[in-house]
Amino acid sequence: MDELAYWVGFNKVLGIGPARLRALLDFFGGVEEAWHADAASLLEVGLDRRSIDNLLKARRSMDLAGELERLHQAAVRVLTWESEDYPINLRNIHDPPPVIYVKGELLPEDDWAVGVVGTRQASVYGKEAARHLAADLAHNGVTVVSGLAAGIDAAAHQAALDAGGRTLAVLGSGVDVIYPEQNRRLAGQLVSQGALVSEYALGTPPERSNFPPRNRLISGLSLGVIVVEAGARSGALITADFAAEQGREVFAVPGSIFQRSCEGANRLIQDGAKPVLTVSDVLEELNLSQITQQAEVRATSPTTPTERVVLDLLSAEPTHVDELGRAADLPAPTVSSTLALLELKGLARQVGGMNYVLAREARVDYVVG
């Protein structure tokens, strides 16, 4: 059985979220072992009876191979904590989702992303502000992240697409369940210039309780979040709260003091959010004015955990590929392909006999933005 199937399985078990799954992986050493563990061992890890019962019931009833086939037929990719291309911004938040479903494509340049969110009952002013900012972000090579909702979200996605940029839509449902229905065509366009992203399994309906966690992913995928227009109780303010908790910048577009739909955004500014008058306010604050230069640096930097592990094991003294595999606890094909990439980036060099050395002594850090 493909190990990915067990990740998908755990993601559908009620009561086992990121913290409990991490505890299971630490205790059992792997997701397959955790899936097949007996009830006594699960109790020892600290799972409550209800969660254990849910897991045992899922093991009896769930067709894991069938789940993978459904994903394949829907052209949906699954990324887990162990995936090298799991989005780095999302990986860095507290308790990132163990599994995300992606319809479309996530690219390395999506690490330079900004969330644009706001009310569903947007005014003409709010929609125009969202379009203007999203288009300018796209023109500057920044990916626009939003939630595919009516109003501000839809305006931001459409403007990014029209500008030829990239945009990600984070859903409060499965990526095969488009909500609202009126944005189905927009979702179809979006897949060709970005991706639909969700932590919810295929077929999950857009239940109200799904949207606050969805907002956590919007901010988690972004370096900062712009609240364009939001009332005092708008869900966009939840996204802003998550952004602040995750250490991301919070921006807000000033609105009329007489318009209730602007009250939340204006309050954010009063509480310390950075006001946005032009996209330059965002680019300068997030140091996104030099994306081309940052991309060039990243091209010669380790961009995955595996690359970093292998690079850290290299020195000026030749090390055989088999020794690197044992030290890194990685299969030989993975080590070989990683070394090939490090050679292309000028970070590693083969010196004969499948021995490798560090090509330059300078320590290279991840470039996050």
Residue 201 lies in a domain: yes
**What tens digit of pLDDT does each residue of 155-190 get?**
999 999 999 999 999 999 999 999 999 999 999 999
Residue 194 lies in a domain: yes
Residue 215 lies in a domain: yes
Comparing C-alpha atoms, which of 104, 163, 103, 107 is closest to residue 133?
Answer: 163
Q: Same structural domain for residues 45 and 176?
A: no
**What tens digit of pLDDT does each residue of 210-229 get?**
999 999 999 999 999 999 99
d(CA 318, CA 338): 16
Q: Same structural domain for residues 116 and 214?
A: yes
Q: What is the DSSP string of 136-189?
A: HHHHTTPEEEE---TTHHHHHHHHHHHTT--EEEE-SS-TTS-SSGGGHHHHHH
Q: Same structural domain for residues 225 and 132?
A: yes
Q: Same structural domain for residues 173 and 283?
A: yes
Residue 313 lies in a domain: yes
**What tens digit of pLDDT does each residue of 281-317 get?**
999 999 887 675 566 655 666 667 888 899 889 887 7
Q: Same structural domain for residues 283 and 304?
A: no
Tokens matching residue 161: 């697409």
Cα torsion through 226, 96, 213, 74, rounded to 10: 100
Domain boundary at 29, 57, 73, which? 73
Q: Same structural domain for residues 316 and 237?
A: no
Tokens matching residue 39: 């009830």
d(CA 132, CA 160): 9
Q: Same structural domain for residues 259 and 285?
A: yes
**What tens digit of pLDDT does each residue of 131-161 get?**
999 999 999 999 999 999 999 999 999 999 9
Give the model's pLDDT for residue 338: 87
Q: Which domain holds residue 326?
A: 296-358
Residue 231 lies in a domain: yes
